[in-house]
Amino acid sequence: MYPFNDSMKMMNRRYTVLLSVFICQVYTMLAQDCPSKQDLQNSIQQAQKLLSSQEASYMQSLRTLRKKLNLLHDSVTRLPAKPKNLTCPNLDTPVNGRKLGKTLFPGHEVHFLCDVGYELVGSEMRQCKDSLSWSGQQPVCKDIDECLSSPCANGGTCTDEVNGFSCFCAKGWAGPTCQSPTPTFFVSIMNTSPVVGGGAAAASSFPLTHTSAFLRQPKCSQVQGTTHCTCEPGFTISGRENSVCTDIDECKLFHNGQAGRLCLHACVNTAGGYRCTCPAGYNVTRDGRNCKDIDECGSRQNNCTRDQLCINTYGGFQCVKVECPQIRNATYVKTSPTRCERNPCPADSRSCSQAPNSVSYHHMSVVSNLSAPRVIFRVSAVRMMGDTLRFALLGGRGRRYFTVQRSDRQTGELLLTSPVQGPATLDVEVEMSELERRELLGRYITKITIFVSPYEF
């Protein structure tokens, strides 16, 4: 404190000298005499008093400041030591999968996904909790057993492979899923047993009254004393003494009504052959065995009006009208035939700003009993404004058949979890929310309608 006091005293002295010079100069400028010595001394004394009071107040402020600093120092000293680890423990990346998200602070999420051919068992998303532990359970990527749905038909044996399967077919069947009979059955059948009375006699003894399109006479010939009879293609020799050719009922022979049958839909036996038919809405394909859906929307075989969309379905078509949502305090405008966007909200309307920013409509056609699980739709953010995207399944008539999973940071996938028996119409809503520091920036709804065919084709 002494050096400070000394400097203050020195300053006081300088101030006194300067002040007297200044006062004298003012008087000189005003062309007056300098004030008397007594007047000057009085003035200087007053100034010194003023300075002393300023000095006291200044010292008081300094003491108060020092006291505050000491208190602050004490309270900082009493603070607990800074914890070293404010993050959740690191998480393992699943084998045959990936981990998205590296931040391990509370509130942050880590997402997991599996390579193609593997399915995730466990939590798709884990969040670092305030207690510095992770929510959910560590996931693993399991090889999808494609054989579970018994894809090999007609007694074929299934072998599971990564991202696929292979079938070892039973005798008489071929194709990737053993769905096709091996085409070796349609040869004419030659009978080598002897016919009493010879071929001509056998032919003449055949009662013509019994002929129908499904019965034919065999053609017989004698070679070195032995009679050989043959039938036309599609017929087999039968009857007592093998005297008649009977039509082969291919429809019965190939288990009509089971998977891998001769015809995809229905089989009609004909004399010497067979024919496949298809339900309304399908054409028989060139190979004569399969059914192909007729595209009524592409071929103008529909009666949809101008304000409707024509959606081709397996075995038919649908006329749908897309109408923008009616939400209180928010209005929407159609920006494309399948998309509605919210008009700008008034600045003070919270209910408007929380309404979906856009609603998109998608229509899909699938066949009945589609194998599951499978991804049937993806929702992606084109550009992201916030730091987090969340995907969720909202209501809809088909909700129980679906779940939503994330495939990467900006994409959500709608997953069909179990096969749906048609005919059926399902709808689900997928919500994508964009957040910035947990504050909602926007909601985007995708409404998906799925038309399930009555048939598995």
> Which residues of the shown chain bind Ca ion in the complex (CB under 5 A)?
247, 269, 274, 293, 312
Minimum CB distance to Ca ion, residue 311 (Å): 9
Minimum CB distance to Ca ion, residue 269 (Å): 4
Half-sphere exposure of 275 (CA within 13 A, CB side): 5
Nearer to Ca ion, 206 or 274 (CB): 274
Report the phi/psi class of residue 456: left, alpha or beta, with left for phi > 0 and alpha for psi in -120 to 50. alpha
- The neighbouring-strand residues paired with 292 are 283
Give me the phi and psi of 164, to 5 degrees please.
170, -170
Minimum CB distance to Ca ion, residue 235 (Å): 8
Nearer to Ca ion, 20 or 230 (CB): 230
Q: Is the peptide bond before 423 cis (omega within 30 degrees of 0)?
A: yes
Cα distance between residue 137 and residue 280, in whole Å: 50
Minimum CB distance to Ca ion, residue 363 (Å): 13
DSSP single-letter state for residue 330? B
Nearer to Ca ion, 446 or 453 (CB): 453
Minimum CB distance to Ca ion, residue 281 (Å): 5
Nearer to Ca ion, 27 or 186 (CB): 186
Nearer to Ca ion, 99 or 292 (CB): 292
Minimum CB distance to Ca ion, residue 314 (Å): 6
Q: Is residue 122 within 8 Å of residue 138, measured between CB atoms? A: yes
Residue that is written with structure tokens 């070293």 in the block: 84
Minimum CB distance to Ca ion, residue 282 (Å): 8
Closest to 124 (Cα-Cα) out of 106, 144, 145, 140 = 140
Closest to 330 (Cα-Cα) out of 349, 314, 312 = 349
304: which 2 tokens?
Answer: 């949809």
SS3 content of the chain, % helix, strand, coil (to 5): 20, 35, 45
Nearer to Ca ion, 174 or 271 (CB): 271
Nearer to Ca ion, 293 or 434 (CB): 293
264: which 2 tokens?
Answer: 């995809």
